[in-house]
Each structure stands twice: as structure tokens, then as C-alpha cells.
Structure 1
């Protein structure tokens, strides 16, 4: 019995990738802002509708560079319901962070809770578009303007997702995209910084390359956060097929929804108004942690491997402040991401749904 994992990386036709790799042999440039990286940046900037895209080695490095370039002082107020890198990247920079609770429906940072936490000590707001679902962008922007602090969006999951007809990457002072292999669209490893601020984009460019302004001069402090030509080649190879990939994933989401609609024990995050999903993940919310563990066991017996994502709540990190975020703590115990990837079959979706049904049927019979 072959296993069904929570995700599976897509790969381009190998001939297409080799064509880009051949161009690397022809140019002789393997890294250091080569022609493929530059091409990839221009194409993504056009797609996202932003003035500047800077490619780096990972989404985590992108967050670190954004924080450094913005010169953040004080506390970063962020969400406790996100991947660990959202918080660890802040801590790694030696910057304090604190949490505001999430909205119980969208699972994104709540502007109401955010507003309650704001103070003169807050130097920036970092929201996560959870599972590619848009934050309350207007609500967060209103707070950022009132307090005069920048907004960084951890938009790691958002490739192909839109809000009011624009890419989610077009919002905030800076938006961060992950291009890790597990993401819907990837370059094996990589990250994106997107901004309309030219001065920030220049900082991103030298900060990713040790601070070099020219071969013999330094603009400022930097790290080695560059993307190689081979990683750019993978991203470029996949770009042309993404509308087909996203459409197929949306069909799978619709299929899941058609079955789960009748199971009262299963609920789903609510899509933000004016947002169009990219079907990055398929999260379900169950009545209790006991139910999550039971469904996981039922699935694993059939060779299906779901994921508790995001779990644990980031308040549980040893370097986190113990914040009052009951909604995030509750959701993190009850959320489960089911398999969703390009190539997952309708029959496999039915098998997964039947496992969930089986668990709740067995509970009723006890």
C-alpha cells in the first residue's frame, strides 16, 4: 500500500529544467545575482504587481533581512498561529516579539486583538496570511498608520492567492514568500522579498550579499542570503504551469468540501472577503484534540499521513512570552491539515474522507 503524504513537491518536465541548466553552463555563472535570478525576479515582480522583488536563499532569511532593512526597534507584534520561522526569525535578530490573538474564523491575526496589544514599545507588526488566506488587510493597515509602524506580511503560503484582485504579495511594507520545496510553487529552497519601496529594495540587495555595494566597497552589514542559478532555474521551469496546478488543487478542495459539508464535527477556516484562495493547504478543525489524535490514527492505519499544522501554538516556544491568546491555543490543538497536492486523485480524497467518517462513526457507536 503506497502512502499518501500531506504534500508532494511538484517537478517540471526534466527537459525544461535541463534547458535552463544548460544556460548556466553557457554563462559560467552559478550564483551571485546571475541572469536566471534576475529573470526570475522580473517575472515575479510583474506577476505580483510590485515594483521590486529580491530573491534570497529562504523565506526565513527573507524575514531576517526585512527586519534588518527596516531597522526595527522595540517589539514586533505578531501571530502565535504560524510556522515557527515567523517567531524564530525575529528572535534570531535579537528583537523582542509578543503575540496578539487570532480571528477564530480566518485564523489570521485579529485587528481587534492587535489593537489591544499596541503600545509605544511596538516597532512593527507581522501578520501571517495563514494557509494562503488573507489577513484583515484594511484593519491591520489602519492600526499601522495610527501608530506609525511598518507591516511585514509572512506571506509564505500565498503564491497565486489574491485579495481585491491583487496578489497578496502586493500588500504591506514588505511581503515574504517561501519557495521551499513543500510549497505550492517552489525553487527547492528560496525566498522572496516584495516591496514597492525602492530604498528598501536596495537594502535587500546588498544585505543578501555580505553588504557589497561594488566589488571593492561595502554599503553596510550583510549576510550570505543569495539564491543560486540552479534554484532560480527550478522556479523558472515551474512558472508556466502554475495556473494548471492551482486549478487542479482548487478542484480537490471543492471535492473535499462537498463531502465534509455533511459532517457536523468538521469545520473549515472561513475565507476572507474579497480573497481568492490558491488552495495551498486543506485544514480542518475538529471538536477536540482527542478527535485530532483519533483521526490521525485512523488515517495512518490506511497509509495516510496528515499533519498537525500549526502545532504547537508558538506561545509554547521556550523563548516566547507567555501571552493571553486563548483562540490560537485552542485552534492549534484542534487543527489538522489533510493531504493536498497536484496529482492527488479523487479516489484518494474519498479514502481520506472515509477515514474521518469512520472515526466519528466509531465514536457514536461507543
Structure 2
């Protein structure tokens, strides 16, 4: 560790950047073996054997009957929204990645932003209840950072008002609530297998569900409205996953337990290493939840730490620790929704904005060693201890 942090004139603590979401490649040779099989078969897309295997593997991991693999999670959400016949308004948390809202608006559905439970970061069912109108047709929950949403409460709310209930589960494969795997909640869920997710298929997504009729419509719509045959039965698009993507997805899923263990080890190392830093706490799983620890999220209490989240993030970045501040601002403060708050959000959303101003995502996964985690913790503690000087230096930086 250098004598001074980079922001105070020292050499960056890390010669190479540490990333949040650096791709996990648990078994490169295995992935290449499967890709070569696809090349040898000359079957690269359109429901090849690797895509079918990947769908079976994802369904098994999620504990559901159906999985429809797609080219990415945003398109999977769009196809699900269209297949489910959502219209009017859908309630969702503002504290989520912008794609959750954009996919609804893209399909002609109005996103209505809900506040969160600040303790969990997930949607607040009681606030959601107050947003239901005669235009509401659904609720889109989000399992934030892999921490399952309040599924029981949302189930009850959806049943009471006759609403469709779906989940953006981009972060959450491998997590569970009350011993039940994420994937089987609501009417359907959508996983992401983007390169930054701990289980990745280079780029990909999937709709998972136990609803036979909904699965059939999703499968048809993601292939031009014709399922796997030639007869067109509905409007559709081309959202199919390729065999190359499925090869990486299969390899990732074969190493699911190993990758969760890697994440858990790093989470525990951060928890120990930051325990003495004033004003810094890690987000912890709720008592009902098992989580994949895909994201390690710290909160910065500026008063207790003597340094703001934004200043700390800038200082860590100067040392090549490329932390992230997801999701700040919330969707309701983002274009195009900020221009029409009366349509999209019952402002203010105080808990969304308060949590968004505090969180800091730390590097984890196979791209970060335990020794590097220790060094990040030591660096972070040093920056907090020198809070006044670090703040002044960051403010002087053009």
C-alpha cells in the first residue's frame, strides 16, 4: 500500500483497475469445448441443443417448469410484457436499473414509480397499495442486488386487486426466499445473463414461469410469433439466444455453487475488513433470504464517516478501485420520466433518494482476490480517516 492515497498525491494503490461486475469465466476450456461442438454441428442458433440444455438447467435452478432463453434480459422483459397483455399502468420501484422502466414504456405501458423499504432496498408493498388505480394492471417487483423482494406481501396485493405480478430478477439467480428459489414467484420472472452478472452467457436473459399458457405465448413471440415451427400465430420478434451464448451459460451454471462461494468469501472478507471504519456498513441479507452476494454494497453515513459517499467514490476510483453508485438517481429522476412526474411518480420518493445517496458497490467475484479485498478495505479505512483532506483534494480536482 502506498504511503498516500492517489487523491492525496500518492501512486494508485492498484496498477490494474478493480471492477464491479468483471466477468466470471469459471471454466474457459469447457466453454470453448461446447462452442466448438456448436461449430462442428453447424447449428449456431434457432433452438440448438445447447440452448435447450441451458433452458433445462435454468429451469432446474429456478425450480420452475418453463424457461425461455433470449438474447438479453431487456428484450426478455419486453416479450413478457407483450405476452402477458400488460397495458395501462404498472407499479415498480424507482430504485432499479433504468431498463426495468424502459421496457414497460417501450411496450406502451406507463411505469408508476413506488418508494422502497429503506432497510431492504426493495419495493414497499404498502406504498404500492396506495398507487393502485383503475388503470393499474400489474406490479413489477425487483430482487435488488440479489436480495429477494417481499414476495408474500406482493402476492397478497396482486391477488386482492386482480393484478399481474412479475419480477425483474436480473440480479437474483441462485438466491432464495424462505427456502424457495428465486424464479418461481409471481406469474413469471426474468433473469439476466449479461457479462457483468455472476452467471453470464456473454449476453443473455430468460423468462421463467410455471404458467403453461404464458410460457407458450412467450416462446412463440420470441421467434417471430411462430414458436419453434413455421406457423405464425401472433405478432413476434427475434429474441432467440445463440448456441455460443448458451455454451457460456451452461458453463456458468455448472459452476453456480462455486461462484456463490467465491462471492460469499469476499463478502465476509469485506465485512471483517470494514468493521472498524466509522460510518460504513454493508448491506446484509434479511432473515428469510439466502442471497448470491453478486453485489457487495456498502452504505456511507456522511455524518458518522466524516466523508460523503461521492467523495469516497471519487477517491477510491483515483486508486483504481472502480466502485459504482447504483442506483443513483432513481428512475424517477432520470429522462424521460423526470419531465412528467405527475404521470410516473407521486413525488417525493424520500427513501429511494436517501438510500441512493448512500450506497457504494464494491468489486467482487473471481476478478478480485481476497488479498485485493483486504487492500481495498485498508485503503477505504485510510480515506475515511483522512476525510477532511480527501474531501478538499477531491473538490480541487477539475
The answer, yes or no, to whether TM exceeds 0.5 is yes
Aligned residue pairs total 366
The correspondence for 2:132, drawn from 97, 118, 129, is: 118
Cα displacement (A) at 1:13? 3.0
Tell me if structure 1 keeps the 8 A contact 2:193–2:201: yes
Instruction: Report what 1:142 is aligned to.
Output: 156
Larger mean CA deviation between 91-100 and 267-276 belongs to 267-276
Tell me if structure 2 keeps the 8 A contact 1:81–1:102: yes
Q: How big is each residue's C-alpha offset from its partner over 1:214-271, in whole Å with a ceiling of 9 and x where there is no partner?
A: 6542110001100011100111122222211110110110111113233331133342
Runs of 4+ off more than 3 Å: 213-216
User: Does the alignment pair 1:311 with 2:328?
Assistant: yes
Q: Could you tell me which runs of 5 or more consecutive residues in structure 1 were left unpaired when the two chains were aligned.
A: none
Instruction: Report what 1:209 is aligned to.
Output: 223
Cα displacement (A) at 1:10? 1.3
Cα displacement (A) at 1:272? 2.5
Q: How does 1:240-279 map to 2 (within 5 A)?
A: 240-279=254-293
The correspondence for 2:119, drawn from 92, 105, 110, is: 105
Instruction: Report what 2:310 is aligned to.
Output: 293
Q: Distance in 1 between matches of 2:39 and 2:170?
A: 31
Tell me if structure 2 keeps the 8 A contact 1:80–1:328: yes
Larger mean CA deviation between 288-297 and 107-116 belongs to 288-297
Cα displacement (A) at 1:360? 2.1
The correspondence for 1:168, drawn from 182, 185, 190, is: 182
Cα displacement (A) at 1:288? 4.4
Q: Distance in 2 between matches of 1:264 and 1:360?
A: 8
User: Does the alignment pair 1:58 with 2:72?
Assistant: yes
The correspondence for 1:225, drawn from 239, 263, 272, is: 239
Q: State TM-score, norm by structure 1.
A: 0.95
Instruction: Report what 1:178 is aligned to.
Output: 192
Q: How big is each residue's C-alpha offset from its partner over 1:20-60, in whole Å with a ceiling of 9 and x where there is no partner?
A: 12321333211111111111111211221101011011110
Cα displacement (A) at 1:5? 1.5
Instruction: Report what 2:364 is aligned to.
Output: 340
User: Does the alignment pair 1:329 with 2:353?
Assistant: yes
Q: Distance in 2 between matches of 1:253 and 1:357?
A: 17
Tell me if structure 2 keeps the 8 A contact 1:183–1:280: yes
Tell me if structure 1 keeps the 8 A contact 2:283–2:296: no
State the superposition RMSD in angstroms.
1.7
The correspondence for 1:190, drawn from 199, 204, 209, is: 204
Q: Could you tell me which runs of 5 or more consecutive residues in structure 2 were left unpaired when the two chains were aligned.
A: 1-14, 393-398
